[in-house]
Amino acid sequence: MALAEDSRNASRPNILRRTYLLDREFQLKYILLLTGMGAGSMLLFGVLANQVLRMSAEGGLSGVETLWWLTGVGTVGMGIALGLFGLLFTHRVAGPVHVMSLYVAALAAGRYPRLRPLRRKDELRAFFGRFSEAVDRIRQREADEALALEQALSVLKDLGATPEAREALATLESLRARKRQAVDTSAPPATFKSVA
C-alpha cells in the first residue's frame, strides 16, 4: 500500500507556488488597511501610555496600575474594532461567493440563471466578471446547439420511417427541448436570496 502511494507521489511533479499577490489590488488594499490599523493603534497606545506615565510621575499616582487599565481598554477596543472590520470585510467577500454558489447550483440543475450585478462595495469583481462571462458563453453554446439540433430535426423528420429512426429523432427532439429550456430567457428567473 505504501509502495503504491510512494509511486503515485513520485509521478506527480512537486509544484511550489511562490506568487503571493494573486489579486494585487484586492490583497494590497486589505494588507495596507490592516497594517494601518495595527500601526495606528500601537501609536495611539504609545501616546496614551506616555501620557499616563507622565501624569502619574507628576501626581504621584501608580503608573503601573493605570497602564494595566489602559492596556485592557486598548485590547478590548482593538478587539471590537477588528471584529467589526472582519464582519464588514467578510460580508463583502462572502456575499459574492454565496450568490455565485447559488448560481452554480442552478447551473448544476440544468438552468442558466440571470446574473445580477454585485453590490457597489462587493469584492471579487474580477472573478465575478470572469464567472459571468463563462456562464454567458456556455449559455450561447447551448443556444447554438439547440438551433443546430432544430435545423437537423427539420431536415430529418421526413426520413424517420423505421421505428429506430423515429426513436432516434425523438431522442434528438428531447435533447433540443432540454437545451432550449435551459437557455430560455422568457422563463421566470430563479429566486435567489439577497445577501445585501
pLDDT means per 10 residues in the chain (196 residues)? Answer: 57 71 84 90 86 76 74 87 89 91 90 88 90 92 89 81 84 88 64 44
Cβ atoms 88, 80 nearer than 8 A: no
Say what the pLDDT of residue 70 is: 81
User: The domain containing residue 167 runs over which residues?
Assistant: 125-183
User: 129 and 117 in one domain?
Assistant: no
User: 143 and 88 in one domain?
Assistant: no
Say what the pLDDT of residue 72 is: 87
Say what the pLDDT of residue 73 is: 85
Residue among 100, 84, 83 at smallest CA distance from 195: 100
Domain end residue (candidates: 123, 154, 174): 123
Say what the pLDDT of residue 3 is: 56
User: 169 and 111 in one domain?
Assistant: no
User: 29 and 119 in one domain?
Assistant: yes
User: 161 and 138 in one domain?
Assistant: yes
User: Does a structural domain hold residue 31?
Assistant: yes
User: 166 and 83 in one domain?
Assistant: no
C-alpha 149/C-alpha 134 separation (Å) is: 22
Say what the pLDDT of residue 48 is: 83
User: 30 and 117 in one domain?
Assistant: yes
Say what the pLDDT of residue 11 is: 63
